[in-house]
Amino acid sequence: MTNSRLDSKAESDSLTTASNGAPTVLITGASKGVGAACVHGFAKAFPEGINLVLVARGLAGLQELESELSQYPNAKVLTLTADIADLKACKQLVAAAVQEFGGINVLVNNAGLHHRGEFSQRTPEQIAAMVDVNLRSPLYLAALVLPLMPKSGQRAIVMVGSLAGRAPLQGAATYSSTKSGLRAFAYALSDELRDKNINVAVVSPGPIDTHFIMDEIDEVEDIVYSQPMSTPEQVAAAIVKLAKGTETEITMPWFSGKLTTLGYLFPSFRRASRGLLYRIGRKNKDKYRRRQS
């Protein structure tokens, strides 16, 4: 991990909001897509001041984003390069954030990994990597951050889930199961912490118009494109809303969220509608291919 200054020990009982009086937000997968949109979203949502801890594997993307943040004089920025699949790196980045700003008010678990294709086509290593990035590390980071949160003020943990976590998605069995686990964790922890006024929430979007799916359009299941595409800014706005509010989940688009509920409750409906959704998805995918070219 680079760009960090580490304490050997952080004492949780001495932590407060940063000395500049601003809340501190830690965002993983911050260098592009939804993560980068979140950075801008939080900077705009806290004009009175905010501390942003930006975590990603690539330094170049973080440096570019940091330069963009010069338009927000209210924002103080700490950039950290780390692979969150490495639990030691997770502990180091949290320590660096605490040393720099005194505490962490909001954790946004945004980083994600998806090796696409049917389960039988994936290697055990790819499956383990998806579990590590999408589920194990978000839980680990939440466990690290919770004792370090200030005793009052803005406090939240927001997971970036997926509609695939609300209803099983063939061709994405591991991804779907990790996002489902992340959603279940958000709901359970939300109930545990409700009396402590720490909001734990999950945003569950359908397809998002980012490199995450557009650069791999031929590998993405056709059914994914059967749903309306959200922009990174729309998802980021939902994340900021959850971080500042009391809701537990936002699905987007709204109607797609209702479809996943039906598909989960009535598997026969999901299987019966699959052919139609695949046809719609293939047609939409062709439109996106033409746009890409």
Instruction: Map out the domains of the chain with their CATH numbers.
Output: 24-292 (3.40.50.720)
Residue of 72, 179, 225, 285 marked active site: 179
- Smallest CA-to-CA distance from 131 within 101, 96, 94, 87 is with 87
Q: How far apart are CA 140 and CA 85, in angstroms?
A: 10
15 in Cβ contact with 97 (< 8 Å) = no
| HSE of 6, CA atoms in CB hemisphere, 13 A | 14
Active site residue 264: no
List pLDDT tens digits, range 27-59: 999 999 999 999 999 999 999 999 999 999 999
List pLDDT tens digits, range 177-193: 999 999 999 999 999 99
Strand order in the sheet with 156-160: 75-81, 50-56, 24-28, 106-109, 156-160, 199-205, 249-252
Active site residue 175: yes
Q: Which residues of the chain have pLDDT under 50?
A: 4-16
158 in Cβ contact with 239 (< 8 Å) = yes
The whole model's pTM is what?
A: 0.91
Residue of 72, 175, 225, 285 marked active site: 175
What pLDDT is stored for residue 1 in this prediction? Answer: 56
